[in-house]
Structure formats: C-alpha cells, structure tokens
C-alpha cells in the first residue's frame, strides 16, 4: 500500500481512513509526528461500518497511542475497519502516516 497521511490542526478529529480488511496478515503500521506547535493526541479505531450513515460510530483509543504529546509509532496486528487521529488539546498540527501490508 502507498502510505496515507491524515492531519489534524487544533482540537478535533481527522477524517477516517478505511482500512483494507482482506490482506493476510492484516498488519498496519503508523507513525505520528507533531509538525508544528504543541498538541495532545490519540490514534483511534473503530470496528463499525463507516459507510453506514444510520449508525453512530464507536471509537476506541489505541492502547499505546493515547494522550500523547510527542512523536510516536505503533501498529495494528488485527483488523479494524477504520482509523483516525484525534487532538484533544493544543493548537498544533499532528500528522498520522499509515502503511498497511498486503498484496
């Protein structure tokens, strides 16, 4: 897969990246970089169908990438349907780059 980058400036959430559920293994790595200012951020995922406009999505914080204030990386070894970046404090900009394994 070609790397995908999501950014968020100030508080709020980025758009959601819909992951490919079919590669075996699923393996999706990510890196977060604070590109300007200061921010507290989390990488979040959902198991819900993000294409269904009739449901409210439930988001979960990644277990090692929540409440961070510095550059960090991590991975998802098991399938999730979508990933986003949420900035909870600060006015800085955070970039989340995702790379998924597969054919």
Q: Which domains does the chain have, with CATH numbers?
A: 4-100 (2.60.120.1090)
- pLDDT tens per residue, range 23-59: 888 899 999 999 999 999 999 999 999 999 999 999 9
With pLDDT > 70 as the criterion, what percentage of the chain qualifies?
99
| Alpha-carbon gap, residue 17 to 100, rounded angstroms | 11
Phi-psi region of 62 (alpha: psi -120 to 50; beta: other; left: phi over 0): beta
Token pair belonging to 12: 């709020």
Residue 103: the pLDDT is 57
Residue 50: the pLDDT is 95
pTM attached to this predicted model: 0.94
Query: Given 3-state DSSP classes, what are the helix, strand and coil percentages for the chain, each rounded to the nearest 5?
Result: 0, 50, 50
Banded model confidence at residue 93, pLDDT cuts 50, 70, 90: very high
Residue 1: the pLDDT is 72
């Amino acid at each position: 897969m070609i790397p995908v980058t999501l950014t968020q400036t100030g508080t709020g959430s980025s758009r959601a990246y819909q992951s490919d559920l079919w590669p075996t293994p699923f393996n999706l790595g990510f890196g977060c970089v604070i590109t300007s200012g200061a921010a507290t951020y989390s990488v979040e995922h959902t198991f819900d169908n993000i294409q269904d406009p009739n449901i409210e999505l439930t988001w979960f914080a990644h277990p090692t990438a929540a409440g961070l204030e510095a550059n960090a990386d991590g991975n998802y070894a098991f399938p999730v349907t979508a990933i986003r970046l949420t900035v909870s404090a600060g006015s800085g900009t955070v970039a989340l780059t995702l790379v998924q394994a597969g054919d």
